[in-house]
């Protein structure tokens, strides 16, 4: 009963807060708009398959008949390009599912809900910490819907064969397992690997893994103040040493090091894991179906991403999706109403379940599906965080350069960090 009351209270508060915005802006004319479709039609763009989303939206429209919400499926590869072209032609959607790595890119095209209308404390009480990537000093860019945390998949057969009872919890435990489950021949050639780290080209999610290590060390990567964004990669403190973090990562690819476990001769880490040549694979929760289908007979499970031993908090990264309102919406009033209802009602729960992902709302994270994997995903979603990536393609290149120049000794780890910091700041000025 108590949990239900809290849920109802949260939904009512959010609805009233958004209602205040609507009334203030003239979005809700306090007249008779109860007729079906009276508030018009709004269009939502996203990359979720229509077959998956259509039943959810049909139910949503049945429950909210004062307006009509239409969905248009777009390709993940072309969403950004198509959206920019449509906006330039004045034909863009009213709403779109905003991936966190496009938030910076669209910051000037998104309607930002001011904290006077939706208090910061209310947002943090309603949504898990990963959703805070949508917060700026000016307000809220999107209502978070789902969280896709970075996890550690592990091969149970490999661990069992080497008498490893439990998967590692800390990075110290990961390092200690290298000599146990990374067999090598007389020439130091790796036969099977414990973990894929150190390189960029064949370590899937290398940027995300290294970014997680920075975040775990207390480095937010990008900081914002008064609307201006800056890189924090070069910032050093007693608890944050970016150069040491980078050195820790590349040591796994150093043939002369004690934790040597990966090199460029291996295929991509996800394929190596599915071929059972890799004990631990760092991938997102959303990859579970792919991993299962690639090798249905593989005996693997999932655990939280490794942590710094004795750290005061847990942290992993995540991919976060929110519902955002474009300031160019031709039916802005209804779009704002729809966005609030999508994030506060049953749709948010059903959306996450349909995608097999943890929801972003805290109250929904309390009730976990009964399958083997979801409880672990849901727990990780609570301590997930992410950073404001200004341009995924460009930052991929920055992180690749940072890793490869340091591992080849063409630059020291300190110089590689400084170079990455400068390049990231240039992106943030655009």
The tens digit of pLDDT for each residue in 120-137 reads: 999 999 999 999 999 999
**Are residues 326 and 313 both part of a single domain?**
no
Q: What are phi and psi of 190, to 5 degrees?
A: -75, 125
**Are residues 269 and 326 both part of a single domain?**
no
Q: What are phi and psi of 164, to 5 degrees?
A: -95, 110
Q: How many domains does the chain have?
A: 2
Between helix 413-429 and helix 392-407 the angle, nearest 10°, is 170
Tell me what pLDDT residue 18 has. 52
**Are residues 244 and 192 both part of a single domain?**
yes
Q: Is 59 left (phi over 0), alpha (psi -120 to 50) or beta?
A: alpha
Residue 380 lies inside a defined structural domain of this protein: no
Residue 373 lies inside a defined structural domain of this protein: no
Closest CA to 395 of 105, 142, 145, 150: 105
**Are residues 29 and 14 both part of a single domain?**
yes
CATH code at position 338: 3.40.190.10
Closest CA to 154 of 273, 268, 262, 275: 273
β-strands 316-325, 143-155 pairing = antiparallel
**Are residues 206 and 246 both part of a single domain?**
yes
**Are residues 258 and 406 both part of a single domain?**
yes
Give every CB contact of residue 429 below 8 A, 6+ residues apart in sequence.
none
pLDDT along the chain (430 residues), means of 10: 48 49 40 65 97 96 95 94 92 96 95 94 97 96 98 98 98 97 93 97 98 97 91 88 97 96 97 98 98 98 97 96 96 93 94 97 96 97 97 97 97 98 94
Residue 276 lies inside a defined structural domain of this protein: yes
**Are residues 265 and 346 both part of a single domain?**
no
Output the CA torsion 418→419→424→425 (10° steps).
Answer: 70
Domain assignment of residue 298, given as a range: 149-317+388-429
**Are residues 25 and 157 both part of a single domain?**
no
Residue 59 lies inside a defined structural domain of this protein: yes
Tell me what pLDDT residue 381 has. 98
Give every CB contact of residue 155 below 8 A, 6+ residues apart in sequence.
273, 276, 278, 279, 280, 298, 299, 300
- Is the separation of the CB atoms in 168 and 155 below 8 Å? no
List b or e across 15-41, with b for residues whose CB sees 16 or more CB atoms inside 10 angstroms: eebbbebbeeeebbeeeeeeeeeebee
Tell me what pLDDT residue 53 has. 96
**Are residues 214 and 156 both part of a single domain?**
yes
- Is the separation of the CB atoms in 156 and 299 below 8 Å? yes
Residue 251 lies inside a defined structural domain of this protein: yes
The reported pTM is 0.91
Residue 367 lies inside a defined structural domain of this protein: no
**Are residues 223 and 270 both part of a single domain?**
yes
Residue 347 lies inside a defined structural domain of this protein: yes
**Are residues 159 and 58 both part of a single domain?**
no
**Are residues 189 and 212 both part of a single domain?**
yes
Residue 374 lies inside a defined structural domain of this protein: no
Q: How many residues in total does the chain contain? A: 430
Closest CA to 404 of 428, 396, 421, 390: 396
């Amino acid at each position: 009963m108590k949990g239900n009351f809290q849920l109802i209270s949260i939904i009512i508060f959010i609805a009233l807060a958004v209602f205040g915005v609507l009334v203030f802006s003239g979005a809700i004319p306090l007249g008779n708009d109860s007729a079906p479709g009276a508030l018009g039609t709004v269009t939502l763009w996203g990359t979720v398959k229509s077959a998956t989303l259509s039943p959810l939206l049909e139910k949503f429209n049945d429950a909210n008949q004062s307006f009509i919400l239409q969905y248009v499926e777009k390709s993940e590869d072309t969403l950004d390009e198509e959206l920019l072209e449509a906006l330039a032609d004045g034909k863009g959607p009213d709403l779109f599912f905003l991936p966190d790595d496009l938030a910076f890119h669209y910051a000037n095209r998104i309607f930002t809900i001011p904290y006077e209308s939706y208090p910061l404390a209310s947002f943090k009480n309603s949504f898990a910490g990963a959703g805070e990537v949508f917060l700026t000093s000016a307000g809220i860019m999107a209502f978070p819907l789902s969280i896709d945390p970075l996890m550690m998949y592990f091969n149970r057969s490999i661990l069992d064969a080497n008498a490893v009872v439990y998967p590692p919890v800390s990075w110290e435990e990961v390092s200690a397992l290298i000599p146990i489950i990374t067999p090598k021949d007389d020439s130091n050639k790796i036969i099977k690997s414990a973990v894929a780290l150190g390189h960029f080209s064949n370590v899937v999610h290398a940027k995300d893994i290294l970014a997680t290590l920075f975040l775990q060390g207390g480095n937010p990567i990008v900081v914002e103040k008064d609307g201006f964004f800056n890189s924090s990669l070069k910032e050093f403190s007693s608890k944050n040493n970016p150069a040491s973090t980078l050195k820790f990562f590349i040591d796994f690819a150093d043939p002369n090091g004690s934790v040597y476990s990966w090199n460029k001769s291996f295929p991509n880490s996800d394929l190596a894991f599915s071929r059972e040549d890799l004990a631990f694979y760092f991938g997102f929760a959303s990859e579970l179906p792919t991993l299962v289908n690639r090798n249905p007979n593989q005996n693997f499970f999932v655990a939280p991403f490794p942590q710094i031993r004795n750290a005061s908090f847990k942290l992993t990264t995540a991919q976060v999706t929110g519902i955002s309102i474009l300031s160019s919406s031709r039916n802005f009033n209804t779009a704002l109403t729809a966005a609030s209802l999508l994030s506060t009602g049953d749709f948010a729960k059903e959306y996450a379940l349909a995608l097999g992902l943890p929801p972003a709302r805290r109250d929904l994270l309390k009730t976990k599906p009964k399958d083997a994997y979801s409880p672990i995903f849901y727990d990780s979603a609570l301590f997930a965080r992410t950073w404001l990536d200004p341009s995924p393609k460009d930052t991929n290149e920055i992180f690749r350069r940072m890793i490869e120049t340091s591992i080849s000794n063409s630059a020291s780890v300190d110089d590689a960090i400084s170079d990455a910091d400068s390049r990231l700041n240039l992106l943030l000025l655009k």
